[in-house]
C-alpha cells in the first residue's frame, strides 16, 4: 500500500524529511478496524514527532492522527462497526499513523462520520475536537461554575485548530461567554465568524482588555499555545479558585503565580486514553458520535481552511512547513492517494 513516512528525524527542508513509500497492507485482529483512508488532516503533533522521534529500526515511521475512511475489515472482537461503515477518528500516538492507504485503529476511539460534510471537511475535526472537548468538559469542567468568577472562558490562541472547535463547542453546549485571543485581522475575523463573543489581542496585555469588557474575572482559561509567555497574565486575569488548562509544551512553566488565587492547573493530552487503554477509553468514540450529530444539525462547522491536494510526501511537507510557521488558522487537510 502507499504511505508517507520518514527514517531520520529533523527539519522539514530536508529532501528526505518525508518520503513516498510502499508498505504491506495490515490485517485487522481483536478490536481493530482496518480503514481505507479517504482524507486526513495535519496537526502540530505531526511535525513535533517528525522533528524528534526516530523510526523504529528499518521500518519508516508513518505520521498522521486524523482520518476519515471506510471500514474494510474488522477484528474478531469488534462489535460496533462492520465493513462499509464510514468513520472518523484521531488514532493513538503509539501506533502507526494515518498517512497511508490503510490504517488500523481500535474501535473504541472511533466514531461514525457525519454524512452532511465531505470527507475532507470531516477529517479536520477529530483530534482537535477530542482535545477541546476533553479539556473543556472532562478537565476544566466548565459546566461547574467557579464561585465568584464570571461565567466566561478565555481561549488563548482562538484561531488555531483546537481554539476554533473549542469556541464552537462552548457556544453549542454551554451558555458561557467566550473570549478568544487573536492578533491579526484575518484571525480576528475568523474567531468572530465561528462564534467568539469577544476578541482580544494577545500581543497586548490581556488583563486590561478583559477588565474593559466589564464582565468580571473569568472563571476559566484555556491556553492552546505559547503558554509559557502568558503565565503571569493568566494569573492576573483569572478569578480566584479558577481553573486553567493547557495543551502545549512550554520549556519552562512556573505555577507559583497561581498559588495566591488557588487556581487549579489541568493538562490535556488527547492520546492519554488510548495510550494507556484507560477503562473509559470508549468515551472518545462517544464524544465523536455526539459531535457528529452536532455537525449533522449544522451546529458545528468544519474548521477546514486549506485543502492541499492528495496525500503524498510533497503535499504533506508543505502542510508541515505551514504549521511550523505558526501562522495558520483552522485546519489543513489532504484527500485521497
pLDDT digits (tens, 9 = 90+) for 1-13: 999 999 999 999 9
Instruction: Quickly tell me which residue has 484575518 as its cell.
Output: 186
292: three-class secondary structure by DSSP: helix
Give me the pLDDT at residue 56, please.
86
What the block records as the C-alpha cell of 9 is 528525524
Mean pLDDT of 73-79: 98
Give me the pLDDT at residue 41, please.
96
Taking alpha carbons only, the member of 81, 83, 71 closest to residue 38 is: 71
Mean pLDDT of 299-321: 93
The yes-or-no verdict on residue 254 having pLDDT over 80 is yes
Report strand pairing: 243-246 vs 19-22: unpaired
Give me the pLDDT at residue 100, please.
97
What the block records as the C-alpha cell of 117 is 460534510
Alpha carbon distances (Å) from 157 to 5, 20, 181, 196, 262: 29, 33, 6, 12, 24
The yes-or-no verdict on residue 199 having pLDDT over 90 is yes
> Which is higher by pLDDT, 328 or 92?
92
The yes-or-no verdict on residue 114 having pLDDT over 80 is yes
Q: DSSP string covering 95-122, please?
A: S--SSBSEEEEEGGGEEEPPTTS-HHHH
Instruction: Quickly tell me which residue has 528525524 as its cell.
Output: 9
Give me the pLDDT at residue 326, please.
79
Confidence of residue 29 (pLDDT cuts 50, 70, 90): very high
Confidence of residue 75 (pLDDT cuts 50, 70, 90): very high
Mean pLDDT of 327-336: 87
153 CB-near residues (< 8 Å, 6+ apart): 136, 140, 142, 166, 170, 176, 177, 178, 179, 218, 219, 220, 221, 222
224 CB-near residues (< 8 Å, 6+ apart): 155, 156, 157, 158, 160, 162, 163, 166, 246, 247, 248
Cα 38 from Cα 120, distance rounded (Å): 8
Q: What is the pTM of this model?
A: 0.93
The whole-chain average pLDDT of the chain stands at 95
Give me the pLDDT at residue 306, please.
86
Give the tens place of pLDDT for each residue, 295-304. Answer: 999 999 998 8
The yes-or-no verdict on residue 328 having pLDDT over 80 is no
Give me the pLDDT at residue 276, please.
97
Confidence of residue 161 (pLDDT cuts 50, 70, 90): confident
DSSP letter (8 states) at residue 56? B
Decide: 176 and 170 in contact? Cβ < 8 Å: yes
Confidence of residue 330 (pLDDT cuts 50, 70, 90): confident
% of residues, the chain, pLDDT over 90? 91
Confidence of residue 58 (pLDDT cuts 50, 70, 90): confident
Taking alpha carbons only, the member of 160, 244, 146 closest to residue 194 is: 160
Mean pLDDT of 196-223: 97
Amino acid at each position: 500500500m502507499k504511505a508517507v513516512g520518514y527514517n531520520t528525524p529533523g527539519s522539514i527542508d530536508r529532501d528526505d524529511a518525508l518520503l513516498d513509500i510502499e508498505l504491506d497492507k495490515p490485517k485487522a485482529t481483536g478490536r481493530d478496524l482496518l480503514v481505507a483512508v479517504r482524507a486526513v488532516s495535519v496537526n502540530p503533533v505531526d511535525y513535533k514527532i517528525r522533528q524528534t522521534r526516530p523510526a523504529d529500526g528499518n521500518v519508516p515511521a508513518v505520521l498522521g492522527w486524523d482520518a476519515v475512511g471506510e471500514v474494510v475489515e474488522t477484528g474478531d472482537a469488534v462489535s460496533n462497526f462492520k465493513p462499509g461503515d464510514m468513520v472518523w477518528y484521531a488514532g493513538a500516538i503509539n501506533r502507526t499513523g494515518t498517512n497511508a492507504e490503510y490504517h488500523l485503529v481500535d474501535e473504541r476511539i472511533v466514531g461514525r462520520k457525519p454524512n452532511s460534510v465531505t470527507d475532507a471537511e470531516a477529517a479536520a475535526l477529530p483530534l482537535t475536537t477530542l482535545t477541546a472537548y476533553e479539556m473543556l468538559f472532562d478537565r476544566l469542567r466548565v459546566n461547574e461554575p467557579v464561585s465568584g468568577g464570571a461565567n466566561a472562558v478565555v481561549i488563548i490562541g482562538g484561531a488555531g485548530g483546537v481554539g476554533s472547535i473549542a469556541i464552537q463547542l462552548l457556544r453549542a453546549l454551554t451558555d458561557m461567554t467566550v473570549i478568544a485571543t487573536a492578533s491579526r485581522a484575518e484571525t480576528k475575523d475568523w474567531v468572530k465568524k465561528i462564534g467568539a463573543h469577544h476578541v482580544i489581542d494577545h500581543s497586548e496585555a490581556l488583563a486590561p482588555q478583559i477588565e474593559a469588557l466589564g464582565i468580571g474575572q473569568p472563571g476559566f482559561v484555556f491556553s492552546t499555545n505559547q503558554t509559557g509567555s502568558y503565565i503571569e497574565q493568566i494569573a492576573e486575569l483569572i478569578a480566584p479558585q479558577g481553573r486553567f488548562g493547557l495543551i502545549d509544551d512550554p520549556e519552562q512553566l512556573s505555577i507559583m503565580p497561581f498559588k495566591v488565587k488557588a487556581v487549579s492547573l489541568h493538562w490535556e493530552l488527547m492520546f492519554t486514553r488510548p495510550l494507556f487503554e484507560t477503562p473509559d477509553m470508549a468515551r472518545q468514540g462517544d464524544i465523536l458520535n455526539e459531535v457528529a450529530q452536532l455537525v449533522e444539525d449544522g451546529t458545528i462547522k468544519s474548521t477546514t481552511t486549506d485543502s492541499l491536494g492528495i496525500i503524498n510526501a510533497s503535499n504533506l511537507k508543505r502542510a508541515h512547513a505551514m504549521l511550523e510557521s505558526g501562522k495558520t488558522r483552522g485546519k489543513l487537510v489532504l484527500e485521497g492517494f
